[in-house]
Structure formats: structure tokens, C-alpha cells
Amino acid sequence: MGDMGLKPDEFWNLTIPDYNRMADGFQRRRREELEWRGTLMAHIATFGGVYDPAKVQFKRQDFLLLPGDNQPAKIILPTPEEMERINKRFNQ
């Protein structure tokens, strides 16, 4: 079984149009999953208590670039005060 969940005999019995439809659906589901994960990372970073949401709003592209994205991810490093909050929060 491969990524699309096909057994070898199921794969070899597919027509090319059937295979193309399955591959397109697989790619669409994969992209949606990656978009969801990137959006979740952006929400966690924005509202996780380290950065001030009024000053920094993260987007999916800041963590995960997908084909067709033309905005490179920006790197936002925490300030010394934010690093202190991170250390206090995770090193209790």
C-alpha cells in the first residue's frame, strides 16, 4: 500500500483518468492538511502567551510555505523580555 492506500492489484486495474482523479484528490487533501497545520502553528505562536497579539500576528506562511506561496517566511526573533517569559513559562 502506498500513500494513496492502493494495493498493487488495485493500482494496476486503474485507468489513467481514475488514477489522475485519485492523485488529484490525494494532493488536495495533503495540501489542506498542511494548510491546517501551518495555521495551527500560527495561532499557537500568536496567542501562546509569548508575543503580544496586538503587535505580532503570525500567518501560515511564516511557518510553512506551500507551492504557489510567493511570500517568504519572515523570521521574528523574541526580544530579551519575551525570552524571559518563555524561560519562566517552560522552565518552572
Q: What is the pTM of this model?
A: 0.65
User: Residue 50's pLDDT is what?
Assistant: 75
Query: Which residues of the chain are under the pLDDT cut of 50?
Result: none
User: Residue 40's pLDDT is what?
Assistant: 93
Q: What is the pLDDT of residues 31-56, one digit of tens each?
A: 999 999 999 998 988 888 777 788 88
| Residue 58: Cβ within 10 Å count | 22
Query: Can you tell me the distance from the alpha carbon of 84 to that of 69, in angstroms, rounded to the nearest whole number?
Result: 33
Query: Can you tell me the distance from the alpha carbon of 23 to that of 17, in angstroms, rounded to the nearest whole number?
Result: 10
Retrieve residue 28's grid coordinates.
Answer: 488536495
Helices (H), the chain: 8-12, 16-47, 80-90
Retrieve residue 22's grid coordinates.
Answer: 485519485
User: Residue 1's pLDDT is what?
Assistant: 58
Query: Can you tell me the distance from the alpha carbon of 42 to that of 58, in angstroms, rounded to the nearest whole number?
Result: 5
